[in-house]
Amino acid sequence: MALPKLLVTRSYEVMSGAVVFTGTRVPVQTLLDYLEEGDTLDHFLEGFPTVSREHAVAVLELDGDRI
């Protein structure tokens, strides 16, 4: 599956304005929280099947100031 042109989006109509993976309602912060707690990317992806591995990795590769 091709990645969306914009990897993340923010709209006050979706998750109260949290930055989410484009095309989902999954906040990027949720992924960061998982990783901070020592969980694996695989564990995150199991819980959020609407986010592809490719999409998650691409977001993690973004400069932190852009998220």
CATH at 62:
1.10.10.10
Q: What is the pLDDT of residues 3-47, one digit of tens each?
A: 768 899 999 988 888 999 999 999 999 999 999 999 999 999 999
Residue 6 in any domain: the answer is no
Q: In total, how many domains does the chain have? A: 1
Q: Are 13 and 25 in contact (CB under 8 A)?
A: no
Q: What is the pLDDT of residues 44-53, one digit of tens each?
A: 999 999 999 9
CA-nearest of 43, 6, 39, 42 to 24 is 6
Residue 4 in any domain: the answer is no
Amino acid letter at 13? Answer: E
Tell me, what's the pLDDT at 2?
A: 73
Which stretch of 43-47, 53-57, 62-66 has the lowest confidence by average pLDDT?
A: 62-66
Residue 2 in any domain: the answer is no
| Residue ranges making up the domain that contains 46 | 11-66
Amino acid letter at 48? Answer: F
* Structure token digits, residue 61: 């590769």
**Alpha-helix runs per DSSP H in the chain:** 28-36, 41-47, 53-61
Tell me, what's the pLDDT at 53?
A: 97
Residue 60 in any domain: the answer is yes
* Structure token digits, residue 39: 């969980």
